[in-house]
Amino acid sequence: MSQWEDRKDELIRKLEKSKMTFRDILAQDKDYLVFTPQDREELESLLQRNDKVLSKLKKGEFTVAIVGLEKAGKSTLGNALLKNMILPEYTERCTYTTTEIRAGSETRGEIVFYSREEFQTHFQKMMVELGYEGTAAIDTPVETFNSWWDTMADKDRRTYDQLNGTIAEDVR
């Protein structure tokens, strides 16, 4: 741990030093003798990225992304890393959405809901992925969906088998 802290402090020092150096050079090069406006723009964007890393390092923040196919064990791995049971784990698809966990002083959760329009757009996108060519409404009864989806089994068995337990299940 102390080794990590030492390396972190060293990186903070280096990043701060390079930031000051570039800021100084840019301030003195008012007439674009050293850097062209394009160079300057590139440097500015690098400095902004530098600032982001610096502020994360100073706060001791870092991001771990867990990405994988459905039911791959992402939530289980996340819970193991957190040594807690925060994320729902199940034998079937269950998380359905991107989840973000941040360290904080209190334990709390924030749920962001789709608006009806956003949900409709999302739903339409899933229907297109299933091969539906028309406009799909979210309040269509599930039986109507099931009879249409059954016809897809004859048309393209491979896609049907592939998506039946995933996107089709989400639509249901």
Ligand X SMILES: Nc1nc2c(ncn2[C@@H]2O[C@H](COP(=O)(O)OP(=O)(O)OP(=O)(O)O)[C@@H](O)[C@H]2O)c(=O)[nH]1
Read off the tokens for 13.
Answer: 């020092």
Is residue 166 close enough to count as binding Mg ion by CB under 5 A?
no
- Closer residue to Mg ion (CB): 14 or 93: 93
> At closest approach, how far in Å is the CB of 75 from Mg ion?
3
- Residues lying near ligand X in the complex (CB under 6 A): 68, 70-76, 89-91, 93-95
Q: Among ligand X, Mg ion, none, what binds residue 120 when CB lies within 5 to 8 Å by partner kind?
A: none
> At closest approach, how far in Å is the CB of 124 from Mg ion?
24
**CA 111, CA 107: separation in Å to the nearest integer?**
14
Q: Among Mg ion, ligand X, none, what binds residue 56 when CB lies within 5 to 8 Å by partner kind?
A: none
- Closer residue to Mg ion (CB): 109 or 141: 109
Radius of gyration of the chain from its Cα atoms, rounded to whole angstroms? 25
**Site pattern 75..94 for Mg ion (x: CB under 5 A):** x-------------------
Buried b (16+ CB within 10 A) or exposed e, 136-169: beeeeeeeebeebbeebeeeeeeebeebeebbbe
Q: Taking CB under 5 A as the criterion, which residues in 91-110 touch Mg ion? A: 95
Residues whose CB falls within 8 Å of the CB of residue 165, separated by 6 or more in sequence, listed in order: 93
- How many chain residues bind Mg ion (CB under 5 A)? 3
Which among 139, 133, 106, 126 has a CA at the least distance from the CA of 170?
A: 126
> At closest approach, how far in Å is the CB of 87 from ligand X?
7
